[in-house]
Amino acid sequence: RLICIQTTELEHRTEPGLEHRTEPGLEHRTEPGLEHRTEPNNLTHLSGFDPHRTDSCHATKPDMLNVHLVPHTHDDVGWLKTVDQYYYGDRNDIQHAGVQYILDSVVDQLLKNPDRRFIYVETAFFYRWWKRQDSSMKQTVQQLVNEGRLEFVNGGWCMSDEATTHYSAVIDQMTMGLRFLNDTFGVCGRPRVAWHIDPFGHAREHASMFAQMGYDGFFFGRLDYQDRYQRMMQKEQELLWRASDSLTPPMADLFTGILPNGYNPPDGFCWDQSCSDPPIRDDPDLEDYNVDDVVKRFLNIASAQSMVYKTNHIIMTMGSDFQYENANLWYKNLDKLIHYVNAQQDLGSRVNVLYSTPSCYLQELHRANLTWALKTDDFFPYADDAHDFWTGYFSSRPALKRYERLSNSNLQTCNQLEVLGGPTSTNGPFGKGDSQTMKKAMAVAQHHDAVSGTEKQHVANDYARRLATGWQHCQVLVSNGLAVLSGSTAQRFYCDYLNISVCPLTESSKKFSVNVYNPLGRPVTWPVRLPVNGTAYAVSDAAGTSVLPLSKDTHNVRRSRGFAVNELVFEVQAPPLGFSTYSVSLLQDGPLAASTQPRTPTAIQNKVPTHGFINYKNRMIRRGYNASDGNNSESIQPSGAYIFRPNSSTPFLISSTAKTEFIQEVRQWFSPWVSQVVRLYAHSRTLELEWTVGPLPIHDDLGKEVITRIDTSIESSEIFYTDSNGREVLQRKKDFRPTWHLKQSEPIAGNYYPINSRAYIKDDVDQLTVVTDRSQGGSSIHNGSLEIMLHRRLLYDDVRGVAEPLNETSAIFPEGLVVRGRLLLSLDRPASAADKHRPLAQEMVLQPLLTFTDGDLHPDFSGLQAALPPAVHLLTLTQWDAQSVLLRLEHQFQSWESDVNSKPVTVNLQTNRQTDKQTNKQTDKPWQKHNLLGVGGPTGGATDQPWRSVRWQVESDTVYINSVTHTHTHTHTHTH
């Protein structure tokens, strides 16, 4: 058998000027599981088409059109059924699909013919299947992998969504999947191709991450119909994506291919049990003999496809959703197809058909040694027809989107305390806890039908349940870890409903302590709001303590959960990678003083000097779009979970007036189902908007899509900016696409983009930045304005497969879901705005965790001797195995956005073993600190990935954008 022996054909093919430039001491920058390139013997090898693998690709014919058939299945990790139901084949009344049977059947059929190939993607399913196999089957599968007959592509726990996921969570789920493949199959199991055939638009940051992980190429199936048509005409469906404007090429360069049929087989060639296409009937004695017809149709399809691609190699995806449950149907017909089409070569045909994989196909494209079109923006928004923009899911299921983001923050805290607390954290005074349950739940939640909000309601409930279960496991770990670090085993309470002012301990106790854990690598100041029933409290070492009456909206939204009448508000500070503890004591019961009673507002301000004044207008959250029901002359497309299609370009006015109260904050009620609180904390330069929306009324038989719109005097010239997966920021322009000419047919939905963590508008003087607490959709429809969609409730299915209207209700809210969230607004000079919004967005993503104990407690702790530099973000600190820890640091500023913080930074980590004062001996305590030394300025070099040997030539480093030429040069390079 073949044991993945390396060939060297494509080694070190480097274009002039793109040679590796490696900083001294950084030659082996390995993050276990992230780059998936390290063998068990710890040798690091070059990626490309030659890593320890005999060329298992079938031979091609250079003088013919080679058609690469790629057998595959697309197995959603939840969509119409839950992930468990999909694996076991349960609830086939909803959809016939059983992943365990697919893998059983495929392995059986691969063994019957060594020419056959298959690719598999979703490690979450394969992991489950693998655990249930005996040693004989595992050995068989290992051989198939070693011989390249079964190839893993993508390799993450799931195929993540690209619009609504945060980059940190994507890295985590990719790490989980890739680590399993590496541990199980070694280098032969390492995916070399990223494969996102189903996500609904494609983010530049995803491509950047894939490139930095060492993938050689990226294939996807969906892009805007106008973009596809123009690329077909220009033969640019295969291109080089330069996915970062801060990383020196080719660090974030990724060859990208757009598949011809989405991810389905050509029409008439689907041989799954779920399909109705006729099989190949090749007995000439039978009346229904159809070989000649099949061959003729296939040759016509192949010829037509070759006309819109650049080389004499084309790819066809032979499979689709949950196919190959009976793999014999597929393979028997594919064997025949290959045989009969290739037999035509004796009659002069110039078409050669072969079993293949994406990496084999990619190898042939590289051998062609051509130049490729260059792309530097992204593939949002995506439309599949003139009035069918997939921009609604940017905001669908806003409660689930927030819960996923909060769960990510909780998981990072859980990971960190597992490291800082040592072995006691997983088995300590509060029992056995673990982070793995939460890691798996979060990994599944990144799926493109999970956090995207495009699943059925019962599946959304299952995702939320998994996250809740994971957090329960983490709570035990966190309690154990904090007990180790604080020296106290006092019971800890978790108040997961603080956003609606529910916390049984603070509502009833006269003396309690608040532990504030900060997962960031720098200190933070954070506003704490606790439900209480007293009117005066003493808080140790806290600034700006006050007690406010609970708003009527909070009373309404919490229903019967909680009984507090007031909120205790104070600001806390927490050290980097550590915690502070605040003691709270009741001083007074009784009614609130007159100074806290409502009054008419005149202004909201504090003593912190600011660049300017935000002209706050009351039209915010007073508008919404009525959703199209599909009953109009232009199109029958309604709004739904995926599609955003308002029935008018002018949003309706929820109310022309707002009832307003001022109680150290501005409280506004625009209608019984829309309210807002405006807050400016004592030491803050940002304005907080807390919005509460729902239940959205549907008595008029119209769905509702509620927005907040912020109007300013900024001359933004129809240009605005949104982040990509919470990381780099891209420029947007109304009714414009950078690489193709747009014919706009939906003036609102066609200008919406995903906002994962921030959006802003600016002119030469001012920049208004809005930081979000979850992924949302938004745009700048009018000059000087930003609008963000907060909530959607729709009455029609949008006919994209989910077969269910997005009409969320629950036992607590049977009349319709109520959602609450926060936006942070800052107004700054453009040159310095990133210095504020970068750390602000990280605080929103990784917010402090509050835990509570009854009684008095005062310990403080920091896991760092010094805070990280402002430009450096602590991305990951997690236990890798019993003897090692995974630490990831990243530069969080783009090369152009800050005069101060966009410069490269050097951080040296040196372990400082603490000394026991009694014995004067050094001890390896679980909380041993990391001493941060040698913070310097520009380093002058750039670190490239030595494991990526594949280089692609671009047609030009000058990008032509609708007749406007932009030549990109970069002074600084950032190693992420």
Decide if pLDDT at 965 tops 80: no
Amino acid at 201: G
Residue 204 lies in a domain: yes
Residue 55 lies in a domain: no
Question: Is the distance from CB of 257 to CB of 238 less than 8 angstroms?
Answer: yes
The CATH number of whichever domain residue 435 belongs to comes to: 2.60.40.1180
Give me the chain's average pLDDT, please: 87
Burial grade of 749 (CB within 10 A; 0-12, 13-18, 19 or more): buried
Decide if pLDDT at 920 tops 50: no
The CATH number of whichever domain residue 717 belongs to comes to: 2.70.98.30
User: For residue 590, what pLDDT band results from cuts at 50, 70 and 90?
Assistant: confident
Residue 687 lies in a domain: yes
Q: What is the pLDDT of residue 953?
A: 78
Mark whether 371 and 231 lie in a shared domain: yes
Strands 652-653 and 849-854: unpaired
User: For residue 652, what pLDDT band results from cuts at 50, 70 and 90?
Assistant: confident
Token couple for 255: 């060859």
Question: Is the distance from CB of 777 to CB of 394 less than 8 angstroms?
Answer: yes
Q: Where are the alpha helices (DSSP H) in 390-494?
A: 398-421, 436-445, 457-486
Residue 434 lies in a domain: yes
Range in 105-119, 532-546, 740-754 the model is least confident about: 532-546
Rounded mean pLDDT of 405-424?
Answer: 98
Token couple for 907: 């951080």
For residue 300, the 8-state DSSP code is H
Mark whether 451 and 462 lie in a shared domain: yes
Mark whether 827 and 855 lie in a shared domain: no
Q: What is the pLDDT of residue 26?
A: 30
Q: List the 753-755 sheet strands across, edge first.
A: 652-653, 623-626, 704-711, 785-793, 776-779, 753-755
Q: What is the pLDDT of residues 139-194, one digit of tens each?
A: 999 999 999 999 999 999 999 999 999 999 999 999 999 999 999 999 999 999 99
Rounded mean pLDDT of 518-524?
Answer: 97
Question: Is the distance from CB of 105 to CB of 327 less than 8 angstroms?
Answer: yes
Q: What is the pLDDT of residue 662?
A: 58
Q: What is the pLDDT of residues 17-37, one digit of tens each?
A: 333 333 333 333 333 333 333
Question: Is the distance from CB of 580 to CB of 702 less than 8 angstroms?
Answer: no
Q: What is the pLDDT of residue 930?
A: 39
Residue 287 lies in a domain: yes
The CATH number of whichever domain residue 118 belongs to comes to: 3.20.110.10
Q: What is the pLDDT of residue 364?
A: 97
Strands 921-922 and 929-933: unpaired
Mark whether 552 and 625 lie in a shared domain: no
Rounded mean pLDDT of 287-303?
Answer: 97
Mark whether 291 and 408 lie in a shared domain: no
Q: Given 799, 829, 862, which residue is the final one in a domain?
A: 862
CA-to-CA dists, residue 341 to 84, 194, 280, 356, angstroms: 41, 30, 12, 16
Decide if pLDDT at 610 tops 80: no
Q: How many CB atoms lie within 10 A of CB 154?
A: 26
Residue 6 lies in a domain: no
Strands 861-862 and 578-588: antiparallel
Q: What is the pLDDT of residues 808-854, one digit of tens each?
A: 999 999 999 999 999 999 999 999 999 999 999 999 999 999 999 99
Mark whether 306 and 414 lie in a shared domain: no
Residue 922 lies in a domain: no
Tell me which residue range forms the domain holding 497. Answer: 403-600+848-862
Mark whether 577 and 638 lie in a shared domain: no
Mark whether 588 and 678 lie in a shared domain: no
pTM of the full structure? 0.90
Residue 384 lies in a domain: no
Q: What is the pLDDT of residue 607?
A: 56
Question: Is the distance from CB of 502 to CB of 494 less than 8 angstroms?
Answer: no
Token couple for 93: 């009344």
Amino acid at 280: I
Rounded mean pLDDT of 509-536?
Answer: 96
Mark whether 645 and 696 lie in a shared domain: yes
Mark whether 596 and 632 lie in a shared domain: no
Range in 360-364, 539-543, 872-876, 922-926 the model is least confident about: 922-926
Q: What is the pLDDT of residue 13?
A: 34
User: For residue 265, what pLDDT band results from cuts at 50, 70 and 90?
Assistant: very high
pLDDT: is 367 or 958 the higher one?
A: 367
Q: What is the pLDDT of residue 955?
A: 73
Token couple for 708: 């907040």
Decide if pLDDT at 600 tops 90: no
Q: What is the pLDDT of residues 842-855, one digit of tens each?
A: 999 999 999 999 99
Decide if pLDDT at 903 tops 50: yes
Q: Given 820, 845, 870, which residue is the final one in a domain?
A: 845
Q: Which residues of 304-333 are buried (b: 16+ CB within 10 A; e: fewer)?
A: ebbebbbbbbbbbbbbbbbbbbbbebbbbb
Q: Given 794, 815, 845, which residue is the final one in a domain?
A: 845
| Domain count along the chain | 3
pLDDT: is 356 or 32 the higher one?
A: 356
Decide if pLDDT at 918 tops 60: no
Q: What is the pLDDT of residue 94?
A: 98
What does the radius of gyration of the chain's CA atoms come to, in whole angstroms? Answer: 29
User: For residue 633, what pLDDT band results from cuts at 50, 70 and 90?
Assistant: confident
Q: How many CB atoms lie within 10 A of CB 663?
A: 18
Q: What is the pLDDT of residues 434-477, one digit of tens each?
A: 999 999 999 999 999 999 999 999 999 999 999 999 999 999 99
User: For residue 858, what pLDDT band results from cuts at 50, 70 and 90?
Assistant: confident
Mark whether 546 and 636 lie in a shared domain: no
- Which neighbouring-strand residues pair with 888? 876
Mark whether 526 and 652 lie in a shared domain: no
User: For residue 857, what pLDDT band results from cuts at 50, 70 and 90?
Assistant: confident
Catalytic residues: 198
pLDDT: is 16 or 748 the higher one?
A: 748
Range in 534-548, 792-806, 876-890 the model is least confident about: 534-548
Query: CA angle, 885 as apex, 882 and 890 as ends, to 5°?
Result: 165
Decide if pLDDT at 238 tops 50: yes
For residue 210, the 8-state DSSP code is H
For residue 422, the 8-state DSSP code is G
Which residue shows structure tokens 């020296």?
487
pLDDT: is 506 or 46 the higher one?
A: 506
Q: What is the pLDDT of residue 925?
A: 44
